[in-house]
Amino acid sequence: MPTPLDRLTLSGIRLYQRQLSPRKGFRCAHAALHGGESCSAAVARIVREDGLVRGRPRIVARFGACREAHNVIHGGSPLALGSSVETRGVCCIGPIPIPFRCG
């Protein structure tokens, strides 16, 4: 059973996905590099599965993986892909503050 905090979090993610994400001008680096779900979709899934409080370690791990993907895409890694992946930002270091530490 989702807590009020979980419901509020999921509502915020839906608002972000519908109103802000389409207008921000870049894609989640993790999804851009690896395919699959974006960080917002992954976090929503984690919150539905574990709740926000219990799911926090998985959420933080996902944002860390997104930061690593951003570094790979933008040349901060020996595995850099250069221009083969198009992105201009990353969800966990974009203009919207996220209340989890990334890296």
Residues 6+ apart with CB under 8 A from 46: 55, 58, 59, 62
Q: Residue 4's pLDDT band (boundaries 50, 70, 90)?
A: very high
Q: What is the pLDDT of residues 37-60, one digit of tens each?
A: 999 999 999 999 999 999 999 999
Q: Are 20 and 40 in contact (CB under 8 A)?
A: no
Q: What is the pLDDT of residue 21?
A: 86
- Residue with more model confidence, 29 or 89: 29
Give domain limits for the chain. 4-85
